[in-house]
Structure 1
C-alpha cells in the first residue's frame, strides 16, 4: 500500500482541509489535499474543473478517495446553498465518480453530501441575499410545514398560511426550488451506491432542529435507504465539518484490515447526556452513538470490555452557544458533576485504557469551568484525543477519529511509540489553542471590544493576532505545553474561525 488517501474537502478552512490530514498522520497515513486556492472562499465557489483534474492527477498514487459532493458539484458547502446552476449541470459534474470507479474499481470511494441547512436568523453571510430580510420567516415556514405534516397541529398550519402572506412568492419559490434541486442531487447519489460506484455515503445534517424541511428530506432519504437495503453503506446523522475526519479514519481501518474499536461513553451528567444539542435533532448520547457507528465502531456497556473510553462533557441542563452567547446559564448547573467525571477519567487511565475527551457542553468552544479542572488533574499527554469546537457533531466525530488512530497504532505500531505520542500531543495542543484559547477566550474578548462589521480585515486581523498570541503564550506556559506556531490568520476574514500556521503543516 502507498498509505495515501485523496481528500476533496467541503471547503478550504483549516478544520475541513488540514484537520483530517493531521489526524491521519497519527495512524501513519498521508492525506493528499488540493491547493487551498482551488477551494473557493465563502460564497465564491471552488474551481470545480481544476479540482476534477486534481483528482485524476493523484488517483494513481492513492489507495482510496474521500470526496465532498458539495465541493465537486457546487464548489463548496456554502456555494451549495446559493448555486444557480441547474440539477443537470451538477449531476453531470459528480458523474466523474462513475469514471473514477470504472478506472480504479479496487480503490475505495467514499463520499459525503450535506442536507441543505436552514439558518434561523437574518444573517446572509452564508445564505442567499434575501436571507437578511426573510431568513427567520423562511426558517419558521420550514419548521411549521414539517411540524404540521408530522403532527397535524392546527396552529402550525395557520402559521404556514400567515407566513405565505409575509414572504414574497418569488422568494419562497426560489428557496423551495433550491431545496428541491439539492435533494434530487442527493437522491441520485443513492443510485451510485446501488451501482457500487460509491462504497460509503454520508448525508450529514448540517445545522438542524426537531422539525424542518431538511428533516423531512432526511426522513425521505432514510426511507429510501431502507427500501433499497443500503443500511451498511449510507449513514445519516447530525454533522458536517467533521465528516472528512470520520471517513478518512474509516477508510484507513478498512485498508489496514483492522477490527474497529469499541467505545464506552462516560458523561459528566445524566440529564445533559439526554439533552438535545443546539443545531441537532437528537439527544447528545444518541449523537455519540451515531458518530461512532458512522466511523465503524459501536458502544459497549462496561469500561473493561471497551477499547476506548469516550469521556463526554455535557451541559447540566442545556447546551449553550459561546459564539452567540446564548443559554450560558443552563450549562454549569448541579445536574452534572465535573469533578467525579474527571475522577473516572483518571481511574481508566490508571488501568491503561485509551481515554479521549469530547467537550459538548457548549457549541462553538470549550467549557471554561471544565478545562482548568481537567488539566489540573490529568496530563493532557495521557489522553488519546480532545476536542470542543463548533457543534456537538463536529466535536464528537473529530475525537472519535483521533482516538481511533491512537488505537490503530496500539494494534499495528507502524510508527515508534514516542512518535505517536508526539503527534497526538501536537494535535491535542492545536485543538486546545483553537477550541479553547481562541473560541472560548479570545473571540469573546475581540467581539466585545470591536465592531467586526465596521473595521477592515487588516485591523480585525491585527486585533485578533495580538489577543491570541498573548493568551496562547500564557496558556502554553501555564500548562507546560509547546507548539510550533508560525502565524495566525482569519480563513474567511471574520472572527468565527481562526487559522494557525505551524512548522509541520503542509
Structure 2
C-alpha cells in the first residue's frame, strides 16, 4: 500500500505508516499481520520480503533486513522482533552459534539505524525457553536425547538453589554449550534494557513461553524484572499485540471522538501533531489531517468468561491464570479493561473447566454446554477451551445463531496467549477503521466514501474466513485425519468446511493450502483471486 491524497484533505500524514519485522516466515507471523492491517485502509504496513526472514531450518538474512529498514520511507511506528535481527529468528535464537560480541555488534548496528528514524519503537525479545520434551524440531540437535534432562536440571537447580546432581548425567560438552547459549542471550537482553533506559524503545517486552514454576528462564525473568524490564507470558502473538498498541496510541493521539463533527477545515501543511480547536459547544473541530481523541477515550474492552467460576485456572504452556492472561493482553495492546456497560467491545472467552484440552495430543476436556446468545454490542470471541484448535460444540452454536454485523473477530490459534493477542489486534484495527468511517459519514461532502472500510468490509471477512478455516476446520478436525503434509488431500478434506464457513460469513472464495514448514502444525490458507 502506498500513501495517497483524497480531495486535498487526506495527506500522506493522514495515514498511519507502520514498519513491521516479524519473528519468521510462518503464516501467523508474516501473512496474519498483513491480513489484519488490510482491514483498515488508513494503515500502510511495510514489511521486509518474506524470503529474507528465517524459517524452521534457516536464519533470517539480517543484512538484507537492515538494508530494508534503512530504505523504508518515514513511518510512525516500528514493531519488531529483536530475535530476528539479533539471531535470525525466534527458533534461531536457540540454535545460533554466533558469539556474544558478534551479536552485540549486530544489535548496535540496529540501534544506530533506529536512532535515525523519527518513529516510535515497539519491540520484544524472548527469554530462551526450556521445553520439557526430547523433541529437537525447534531446538539444537542434542535436544532429542537430552532435552528432558536439561529441563529437569534447570528446574531442580532453581528450586533447590544449588546445582542439581542431574548435571552428572548430561555430557559436559552439551551442558556447557547450553548454558553458554543461555548466558549469551541473557546478556543481550540486558543490553536491550540499557537501550530502553537511553530512550530507544517506546515499549520493550521480554516474552517467556513454555513456562514451568521453576527454571533458568523463570530466574532470568525475575532478574530482568528487577532491572526494570516488562515480562509477558507468550511469544508468537506479541508482535501483533504490540501492533495493536501502536495503532491505539497513534489513533488516540490523532482522533477526536466527536460523533457530531460537521466538517474538516483546510489541511495544515506537513503537520505531524494534533492541533484541536475547541468550540464553546461539546463538539470539537477537526484541524488538518488530525482527528483527535479526548485523553480519556481509549478503546474500552470488557472480558466476559463463559465459565466464570474457572477463570482462575492456568492455560497449558503458561504460568498465569486465563483471567490474568486476558487482562495482560488487553493492557499491553493499549486498551482499557472495563465493565460490560462501559465497553466499546465485549471480549467473550470460551474458557476451560478443570483443565485445558489438547486436540492433537488427545487430551479431552468438557466442551461448551451452555446456550450461546449473541450480544447486541460489538463483540469478539477467544475460543481457548482447547490449546490449538476450536471447541466444536461452541462453534456449532455460532453457526446456528450467526455472527451479526457487530462481530469483531474469532480466534482459537494455538495457546491462549496466541489466540488473545491476534484476536485483540484485529479488533483494534477494525474498531479504528470503523471510527474513521463514522467520521467520513459525518463529512461525506469532503471525504471519499469509498476510502474507509465499513463494518462488513471484504478484508475483514477474508481474515475471518482464514481464522475459521484454520482454527476450527483444520486444527480441530482435518489435521487429525492427515498423516503427513499433503496439499491435495488437505484441500479435499477442507472443502465441506469451506462451504460451511462461506455460508456463515456470506462469502465465496477460491482457497488453496500450503504447508510452509513442511509439517502439520501449521497450514497456510490462501484466498486466491477469482
TM over 0.5: yes
Q: Do the aligned residues in 2 keep the contact of 1:24 with 1:249 (CA within 8 Å)? A: no
Q: For 2:94 and 2:429, locate their aligned partners in 1 and report how far apart those are by CA, in whole Å.
A: 33
Q: Which residue of 2 aligns with 1:281?
A: 319
Residues 223/480 of structure 1: CA separation in 2 closer, same or farther (3 Å cut): closer
Structure with bigger helix share is: 1
Q: Do the aligned residues in 1 keep the contact of 2:382 with 2:420 (CA within 8 Å)? A: yes
Q: Do the aligned residues in 1 keep the contact of 2:510 with 2:529 (CA within 8 Å)? A: no
2:422 is aligned with 1:406: no
TM-score of the pair, normalised by structure 2: 0.82
Residues 235/376 of structure 1: CA separation in 2 closer, same or farther (3 Å cut): farther
Q: For 1:247 and 1:279, locate their aligned partners in 2 and report how far apart those are by CA, in whole Å.
A: 21
2:509 is aligned with 1:496: no
Q: CA deviation at 1:209?
A: 2.5
Q: CA deviation at 1:102?
A: 2.8
Q: Do the aligned residues in 1 keep the contact of 2:405 with 2:456 (CA within 8 Å)? A: no
Q: Which residue of 1 aligns with 2:282?
A: none
Residues 381/411 of structure 1: CA separation in 2 closer, same or farther (3 Å cut): closer
For residues 341-363 of structure 1, give each alpha carbon's deviation from its aligned partner in whole angstroms, at most 9, with x where no partner exists. Answer: x22xx2x32xxx22110111111
Q: Which residue of 2 aligns with 1:199?
A: 202
How many residues are treated as equivalent by the alignment? 461
Q: Do the aligned residues in 2 keep the contact of 1:271 with 1:317 (CA within 8 Å)? A: no
Q: Which residue of 2 aligns with 1:154?
A: none
- What are the equivalent positions in structure 2 for 1:96-107 lying under 5 Å apart? 96-104=109-117, 106-107=118-119
2:155 is aligned with 1:130: no
Q: Which residue of 2 aligns with 1:183?
A: 186
Q: CA deviation at 1:480?
A: 5.6
Q: Which residue of 2 aligns with 1:80?
A: 93
2:477 pairs with 421, 437, 441, which one? 441
Q: For 1:167 and 1:360, locate their aligned partners in 2 and report how far apart those are by CA, in whole Å.
A: 37
Q: CA deviation at 1:247?
A: 1.3
Q: Secondary structure at the match of 2:493?
A: helix
Q: Secondary structure at the match of 1:204?
A: strand
Higher-Rg member (1/2): 2
Q: Do the aligned residues in 2 keep the contact of 1:309 with 1:355 (CA within 8 Å)? A: yes
2:418 is aligned with 1:394: yes
- Structure 1 stretches of 4+ with a deviation exceeding 6 A read none
Q: Secondary structure at the match of 1:369?
A: helix
Q: CA deviation at 1:337?
A: 5.1
Q: Secondary structure at the match of 1:88?
A: helix
TM-score of the pair, normalised by structure 1: 0.86
2:128 is aligned with 1:116: yes
For residues 226-260 of structure 1, give each alpha carbon's deviation from its aligned partner in whole angstroms, at most 9, with x where no partner exists. Answer: xxxxxxxx532111111121111211222221443
Q: Secondary structure at the match of 2:38?
A: helix
Q: Do the aligned residues in 2 keep the contact of 1:386 with 1:428 (CA within 8 Å)? A: yes
Q: Do the aligned residues in 2 keep the contact of 1:381 with 1:425 (CA within 8 Å)? A: no
Q: Do the aligned residues in 2 keep the contact of 1:331 with 1:362 (CA within 8 Å)? A: no
Q: Which residue of 2 aligns with 1:306?
A: 343
Root mean square deviation, CA, Å: 2.1
Deviates more, 1:302-311 or 1:386-395: 302-311
